[in-house]
Structure 1
Amino acid sequence: MPEVLDRRALNRALLARQHLLAPAAMTPEQLVGHLVGLQAQATDPPYYGLWSRLADFTPEQLGGLLERRAVVRLGLQRGTIHLVTAEDCLTLRPLLQSVLDQGLRGAYGSRLAGLDLAALTERGRRLVEERPRTFQELGALLGAEYPERDPAALAQVLRARLALVQVPPRGLWRSSGAAAHTTAEQWLGRPLAEPADPADLAARHERLVLRYLAVFGPASVADLQKWSGLTRLSAVVRRLRPRLAEFRDEAGRPLYDLPEAPRPDGGTPAPVRLVAPFDNLLLAHADRTRVLSEAYRPLVMSQNGIVAGTLLVDGFVAGVWQLDRPAAGRPASGAAGETDRATVLVRPFAPLDRAGRAAAEGEAQRLLAFAEPAAAAAGTRVRFDAP
Structure 2
Amino acid sequence: MGPPLSTRALGRALLDRQLLLRRADLPVVTAVERVFGLNAQGPNQPYVALWSRLDSFTIAGLTAAIEDRSLVRSTMMRATQHLMSVPDFRFVRPVLAPLLRRVRRNTFGRRTAGVDLDALVEEARELLDGRVVTRPQLGRLLARRRPDADPTALGWSVQYLEPLVHPAPSGTWNVYGPTPFARADWTGVRPEATAEDVRRMVRRYLAAFGPASTSDARVWSGVGGLREVFEQLRPELRVYTDESGRELFDLPDRPIPAADLPAPVRLLPEFDATLLAHADRGRIMTDEIRRQVCVGDAIAATVLVDGTVAATWTTSHDDGAAILTVRPLRPLRSWSPADRDAVEAEAARLLAFTHPDAVGHDVRLAG
Judge same fold: TM > 0.5, yes or no. Answer: yes
Letter in 2 for 1:321: W
Aligned to 2:247: 254
* 1:382 alignment partner, one of 357, 363, 366: 363
| Partner Cα distance (1:92, 1:359) in 2 | 38
Matches of residues 338-357 of structure 1 in structure 2 within 5 Å? 339-350=319-330, 351=332, 352-357=335-340
Q: How do residues 70-219 of structure 1 correspond to structure 2 at under 5 angstroms?
A: 70-185=70-185, 189-194=186-191, 201-219=194-212
| CA offsets 1:59-109 (integer angstroms, 9 cap, x no match) | 111101111111110001111110011122222111111111010011111
* CA shift for structure 1 position 250: 1.4
Distance in structure 2 (CA, Å) of the matches to 1:230 and 1:105: 15
Give the AA of the match of 1:65.
A
Q: Quick one: distance in 2 between partners of 1:230 and 1:135?
A: 25
Provide, for residues 153-194 of structure 1, a one-character-per-residue CA deviation record: whole Å limited to 9, x for no partner: 111221011111112111111223222111111xxx343145
| Structure 1 residue identity aligned to 2:366 | D
Map of 1:298-337 to 2, 5 A cutoff? 298-303=291-296, 305-324=297-316, 326=317
Written as runs of structure 1 = structure 2, the 5 A alignment for 1:253-292 is 253-292=246-285
CA distance in 1: counterparts of 2:236 and 2:91, whole angstroms: 23
Deviation at 1:116, TM superposition (A): 1.2
Letter in 1 for 2:303: L
The equivalent of 2:14 in structure 1 is: 14
Structure 1 letter corresponding to 2:345: G
Q: Matches of 2:73 and 2:320 in 1, distance apart?
A: 33
**Among candidates 350, 355, 373, match of residue 356 of structure 2:** 373
Q: Which runs of 5+ in 1 are unaligned?
A: 327-337
Letter in 2 for 1:307: I
- Structure 1, residues 339-365: CA drift from partner, whole Å, max 9, x if none? 430111111112122110000001001
Mapped to 2, the partners of 1:381 and 1:295 lie a distance apart of 29
Residue 302 of structure 1, CA deviation:
1.8
The one-letter code of the counterpart of 1:341 is: A
Paired residue secondary structure (1:145): coil
Aligned to 1:334: none
TM-score of the aligned structures, taking structure 1 as reference length: 0.91
Whether the aligned pair in 1 keeps the contact of 2:267 and 2:346 (CA below 8 Å) is yes
CA–CA separation in structure 2 for the residues paired with 1:194 and 1:153: 22
* Match of residue 238 from structure 1: 231
Structure 1 Cα separation of the partners of residues 146 and 190 of structure 2: 32
- Residue identity in the other structure for 2:70: A
How far did 1:113 drift? 2.8
Q: Give how far 1:129 is off.
A: 2.3
TM-score by length of 2: 0.96
Q: Tell me the distance in 2 between the aligned counterparts of 1:379 and 1:110.
A: 51
Deviation of 1:299 (Å): 1.6
Residues 298, 339 of structure 1: alpha-carbon distance in 2 compared, 3 angstrom cutoff? farther
The residue identity in structure 2 corresponding to 1:70 is S
Q: Percent identity?
A: 41
Contact 1:90 1:184 in 2 (8 A): no
Distance 2:176 2:97 in 1: 29
Gaps (5+ residues) in structure 2? Answer: none
Distance (Å, rounded) in 2 between the aligned partners of 1:354 and 1:371: 26
CA drift at 1:379: 4.6
More strand by share: 2
Q: Using the alignment, how far apart are the partners of 1:61 and 1:130 within structure 2?
A: 27
Q: Secondary structure at the match of 1:290?
A: coil
Distance 1:190 1:269, change over 3 A: closer
Taking a change above 3 Å as real, the CA distance of residues 220 and 191 of structure 1, as seen in their structure-2 partners, is same
Q: Which amino acid aligns with 1:319?
A: A
Partner of 1:331: none
Paired with 2:187 and 2:254, the residues of 1 have a C-alpha distance of: 33
Q: Does 1:67 align with 2:67?
A: yes
Q: Aligned-residue CA RMSD in angstroms?
A: 1.4
Residue of structure 1 in register with 2:48 after alignment: 48
Give the Å deviation of 1:298: 2.2
